[in-house]
Amino acid sequence: MQLRTLFGGAAVAAIAAAALGGLYAWTRAAPIAPADAPPAPPPPAVLAAGARVVALGDCMVCHTAGDGPAYAGGLGLRTPFGTIYSTNITPDPETGIGRWTLDAFRRALREGTSRDGHLLYPAFPYIHYTRMSDNDIELAYRYLMTRTPVHAPAPANELMFPLSFRPVLAFWNMLYLRPGGSDIPARQATPIERGRYLVDTLGHCASCHSGLNLMGGERSPAFQGGRIDGWNAPALTRLTAGDAPWTQADLVEYLRGGLAPGHGAAKGPMRPVTERLAGVPREDVEAIAAYLISIQVAPQAKPAPAPATRPAAAVVAGEGPGAQLFAAACAGCHAAQAPMMRIADRPGLARSSAVLGSDPANFVQTVLQGIPWESGSNVYMPPFADTLDDQQIAQLAAYVRTGIAAKPAWNDVAATSAKARKENQQ
């Protein structure tokens, strides 16, 4: 190598290093000094109000790994860029937020910046929490600071470069973070305003229901539907259109109880959301439902709806491999005369968005994974990943789509199933 190019290379390397150093310095916020002592335990009314905020914000869902201790973190969140682990938000002084002041906690939620100044990944939905009211932030803080401290360092993230280099998040924040203040009249709001606050801010519903662009930012306009962990999160702006239109009352039932008469159960990544909402006051869920109804786009004129159940000829005769499989594996619960169908206004498969949707992802995932039983719920479906192969799942899909829901068959169900199996194992 000639001397000139060597010097040139060294100069480029020096400039690059200086630029990275500058970027690092520019993006790193000042640390906030640790608290000397934990805050005094709050009165019971404050604790109860804090529990409500934390339930509406779903904090436990992401900050708890499998059967691990609540809020101790360690859950791996899969993103197209790699896996990010949630951190410990119990009040453990070393590995949790035990020495965080309220200011440090507020800055994390409003700006996505940790106490020591490093930028946080947007898998933590601070772009929504940034608009939390000051009061709600304080309530969440005081509640979390009374949880059982657990010593649990977060596992190292598995991210590809350059995303493993946190300062690049400063650019992402320039694009997607609109830091909020306490501008929400949380208490005096009308139900629709309160609902909007709960959906857009604490509930961060858009992080699944809007879909992400190539930069990992939420698509706009919001709520047009997205993908999460191999499931479709349906559009939330077309709930009152389609073959099985939702009413406000249906939404309240579904969001609080995980089962809507006339539609179906909450499954996959939606299930923990409804489990948390089951524990908040009914008025909050009514506000969410009122807001959702207010954002519906006018339903398009559509042809006369298909009858809810219209078995195709082959089905009446119980012919075809799909019909036989259904009779053997599914009809014990899902046939119209099955005992399960007489408990709690069971909808029947023909009105489920997992069956009516334009692609088979949610049907396939429901059959593969089933619906885990949760105490207090009357919904349980066993997983069939080990008993049915991809071909059989495709045959069942063909039968349920055409025979039960009277809809055209989906394409490529076996391939969807094979892919979902692989992804579910990761």
Site for ligand HEC in 67-126 (CB under 6 A): 77, 84, 86-87, 89, 97, 105, 108, 114, 120-121, 123-125
Nearest distance from residue 66's CB to ligand HEC, in Å?
A: 15
Q: How far apart are CA 262 and CA 413, in angstroms?
A: 25
User: Directed axis angle between helix 390-398 and helix 320-329, to 10°?
Assistant: 100
Q: What spatial distance separates the first Cα and last Cα of the chain, rounded to whole Å?
A: 46
Choosing from 159, 228, 293, 312, the residue that interacts with ligand HEC (CB under 6 A) is 228
Residues 138-167, one symbol each (x = binds ligand HEC by CB under 6 A, - = not), give: --x---------------------------
- Helix segments in 210-265, DSSP class H: 248-257
Nearest distance from residue 51's CB to ligand HEC, in Å?
A: 12
Residues 6+ apart with CB under 8 A from 52: 139, 280, 281, 284
Nearest distance from residue 239's CB to ligand HEC, in Å?
A: 6
Q: How far apart are CA 77 and CA 124, in angstroms?
A: 10
The amino acid at 2: Q
Nearest distance from residue 22's CB to ligand HEC, in Å?
A: 22
Residues 277-296, one symbol each (x = binds ligand HEC by CB under 6 A, - = not), give: -----------x---x----
Nearest distance from residue 202's CB to ligand HEC, in Å?
A: 7
Q: Is 123 helix (H, G, I), strand (E, B) or coil?
A: coil
φ, ψ of residue 134 in degrees (nearest 5): -55, -40
Q: Are 263 and 250 in contact (CB under 8 A)?
A: yes
Instruction: Indicate the helix (H) or strand (E) that contains 366.
Output: helix 361-369
List binders of ligand HEC among 353-392 (CB under 6 A): 353-355, 362-363, 366-367, 371, 379-382, 384
- Cα 89 to Cα 46, 48, 67, 152, 210, distances in angstroms: 19, 18, 16, 10, 27
The amino acid at 423: E
Comparison of 13 and 411: residue with beta carbon closer to ligand HEC: 411
Looking at 30-38, 41-49, 216-224, 258-266, which segment touches ligand HEC (CB under 6 A)?
A: 258-266
Nearest distance from residue 271's CB to ligand HEC, in Å?
A: 7
Nearest distance from residue 8's CB to ligand HEC, in Å?
A: 37
Comparison of 1 and 156: residue with beta carbon closer to ligand HEC: 156
Q: How far apart are CA 275 and CA 257, in angstroms?
A: 7
Choosing from 32, 139, 222, 270, the residue that interacts with ligand HEC (CB under 6 A) is 270
List binders of ligand HEC among 313-342 (CB under 6 A): 329-330, 332-334, 340
Looking at 2-10, 17-25, 59-67, 306-314, which segment touches ligand HEC (CB under 6 A)?
A: 59-67
List binders of ligand HEC among 174-213 (CB under 6 A): 199, 203-205, 207-209
Comparison of 120 and 398: residue with beta carbon closer to ligand HEC: 120
Comparison of 8 and 332: residue with beta carbon closer to ligand HEC: 332
β-sheet bridge partners, residue 76: 85
Q: Running DSSP on this structure, what letter comes out for residue 388?
A: -
Nearest distance from residue 341's CB to ligand HEC, in Å?
A: 7
φ, ψ of residue 196 in degrees (nearest 5): -60, -45
The amino acid at 242: G
Question: Nearest Cα to 238, choosing from 98, 358, 369?
Answer: 358
Comparison of 4 and 172: residue with beta carbon closer to ligand HEC: 172
Q: Is 402 in the site for ligand HEC (CB under 6 A)?
A: no
Q: How far apart are CA 61 and CA 46, in angstroms?
A: 22
Does the CA dihedral 147-283-246-323 come out positive or negative? Answer: positive
List binders of ligand HEC among 8-47 (CB under 6 A): none
Q: How far apart are CA 235 and CA 246, in angstroms?
A: 12
Choosing from 91, 180, 225, 268, the residue that interacts with ligand HEC (CB under 6 A) is 268
Comparison of 7 and 281: residue with beta carbon closer to ligand HEC: 281
List binders of ligand HEC among 229-248 (CB under 6 A): 231, 233-234, 236
Question: Nearest Cα to 30, choosing from 88, 94, 104?
Answer: 104
Q: Is 342 helix (H, G, I), strand (E, B) or coil?
A: helix
For ligand HEC, how many residues bind (rule: CB under 6 A)?
A: 74
